[in-house]
Chain A
Amino acid sequence: MSEGFAKKVANTQVWKAIFRHGPPNNARNRAAVVAGNVFLHLHPIKLKKSGVQLGYTWCMGGLTFFVFLALTVTGVLLMFYYRPTAEYAFTDIIGLREHVPLGIMRELHRWGAHLMVITVWIHMFRVFMTGSYKPPREFNWGVGVILLVLTMLLSFTGYLLPWDQLAIWAITVGSNMAKATPFLGQGGPGAALAKIGDFVLVSDKNDVRFQLLGGRFVGEAALLRFYILHCVFIPLVVAVLIAVHFWRVRKDGGISAPL
């Protein structure tokens, strides 16, 4: 009876409007479901068997993308509750913890962020160990390296947002490195040489660290900057680069296999 019911549903006008083809149990429909669905068409219709084996790919790139999507969803939900100001940031997080029964959204977001850093590292390791960066995939390896760095920057900018001691001092330690950039940081080699007469060109009021934090220390301006970098700017760049990355995986011949 259930089979009859399923058949009936599949025959309704609504079902046929959404899915233009029958169930994917024959060659024609299996091609149609992948080619006709905007999400599934990331995949090729057919691919080499070695490319679908977990023992070869470890699914680490796919999981990285999956966790990125999960982080986008949980991150958007968290944005409803969070104001990036020195006055409210910390208390909003407290509110999230105290007033939401059984809430795990912040946990999902934080552990997901850590997990994404790990999966993207292991993905790179797998790609290296299978020599998948070799021609014709050199360019896509470079895109991947940039994505890996952006993943860490996403995690790093998010680290500041709870505005607790852990956050500001971790960011203080991290951003102090920018102060040491050669020529561009106030404490970096060569910066003291950049002078016109007595006028100092690179000071703590205009060096790279100042640009990053919007101030001379991790304060409210830094919080707003990191918030916008974390929620808008870096995710947009990452989304574009992911599109390039996936497109090139397909164009460079799909998941690598022996030539």
Chain B
Amino acid sequence: MIKEAINYLSSPLFSFTAFIILFALAMKRIDIVGTKKFGWGLLIFVLVVFVWMVSDPVFFTIISLPDNVPIIILNGLVFWSTWYALYRGHQNDLRIEAGEGPIEGTPENREKVWAWPNLVYTELFAGILCTIFLIVWAIFLKAPLEEPANPTWAPNPAKAPWYFLGLQEMLVYFDPWMAGVVLPGLILVGLIAIPFIDVNPKGNGYYTFKERKFAITGFLFGWLALWVFLIQVGTFLRGPNWTFYGPFEYWDAHKVVAENNINLSEIIWIKMLNMGLPKNIFVREIFGLIATFGYMFGTIPLITKKWGQSYLERMGAIRYYIMLALILGMMSLPIKMYLRWFFDLKYILAMPEFELNL
């Protein structure tokens, strides 16, 4: 009963929405999230849920695939690192408020120490621990080896390595040229551009949240919601034919899912105007073109008027517009996801004549 409810609620619409709401709450209340009590509570909660989930045979068969084990390690580290960075940030924020400055800047911590033994020994121990960890992992878990390569028989589902499954999950919502080329390219360019866009001189060399609220919230959203979360969906919740399966749902290859996604042009010309699709593709796609260009350019003055003026003045025009372009590119993914879930929208702009579908 509970498991069926979880299966139902873990569909991307609900789980992604819940994740974003929890994320927004966490960003609002760092004073709660960034405490040791919360950290311990979260750790215990996650461990209990994890143990309970693993005790389910269906979920266990998925999570115990050798190549899925790294994701468990990733998740553990992501949980810990996110909480710990926010905890340290919150501690420093309190110190800064009290006029003490960040803990990393106290005279005691600014003092210079010898690399030998302070740094060299730490590295040695970290290396030894890592070696032990790897050897134990290697002894207890055999590297997977399936049947010999057979180009004529594709497994179902055929999945990329786990670190690319977020991108493969994006294929549900975007064509490969977006999910596989443009969006990864934007991530790469966007990451490299961060130091040149972020002109906030504060928070350099110490943990903080309050002094860099906007930068940290934006980065965490991309990292946690659009990268790590989508990897989980792509790994644990996508079965044969890339159909959604709940964590406790058996991957039955015959599960039938109604595919009734339609394009924006069809919604407007056929359903709303009762006219049939025009022959000329540019007339047919006029609404998609308006929506696309409206999103790419029309939103910019609106956003600037409502929120952006102070950023524009502080950052200068070039930085500001590059940042807006990157944010619009990033947000195109969740926007498309919700359009799909709410309106069964397949493509906003559908020009298969040029392989240009959005």
Contacts and interface: CB of A to CB of B under 8 A. Distances in A.
Contacts of B134: 67, 70, 108, 111-112, 115
Contacts of A244: none
Nearest to B228: A121
A157 B115 CA distance: 37
B143 A134 contact: no
Contact of B149 (A107, A167, A191, A192): A167
Q: Looking at chain B's contact residues, is the secondary structure mostly helix, strand, loop, or mixed? A: helix
A236 interface: no
Interface-centre pick from A135, A169, A256 (highest chain B CB count, 10 A): A169
A166 to B, nearest CB: 5
Given A159-B161, A174-B160, A34 B115 contact: yes
A182 B182 contact: yes
B238 interface: no
Nearest to A184: B181
Interface stretch (A6-14, A47-55, A227-235): A47-55
Nearest to A67: B130
B88 A62 contact: no
B119 A47 contact: yes
A189 B356 contact: yes
A224 interface: no
Contacts of A259: 204-205
A131 B204 contact: yes
A75 B118 CA distance: 31
Given A118-B73, A163-B148, A258-B206, A149 B188 contact: yes
B151 to A, nearest CB: 6
A169 B192 contact: no
Nearest to A41: B115
Contacts of B67: 114, 166
Chain B contact patch, size range: 35 or more
B301 interface: no
A125 interface: yes
B70 A135 contact: no
A88 B78 CA distance: 39
A173 B204 CA distance: 40
Contacts of B175: 180
A243 interface: no
A59 B77 CA distance: 13
A191 B71 CA distance: 37
Contact of B145 (A97, A104, A159): A97
Nearest to B101: A258
A129 B216 contact: yes
A82 interface: no
Interface in A123-146: 125-126, 128-135, 137-138, 141-142, 145-146
Interface stretch (B163-171, B279-287, B291-299, B339-347): B163-171
B207 A129 contact: yes
Nearest to B167: A177
A181 B355 CA distance: 11
A185 interface: yes
A253 to B, nearest CB: 9
Contacts of B138: 104, 107-108, 111
A102 to B, nearest CB: 9
B113 A180 contact: no
Given A24-B117, A131-B203, A170-B160, A48 B109 contact: yes
Given A104-B139, A141-B192, 20 more contacts: A63-B127, A111-B137, A115-B130, A122-B78, A132-B205, A138-B195, A142-B195, A155-B161, A159-B161, A165-B150, A166-B67, A168-B150, A176-B176, A180-B355, A181-B181, A187-B355, A188-B177, A219-B151, A257-B110, A257-B205
Contacts of A133: 194-195, 198
B130 A165 contact: no
B143 A168 contact: no
B354 A156 contact: no
Interface in B81-103: 81-82, 85, 88-89, 101-102
Contacts of A20: none
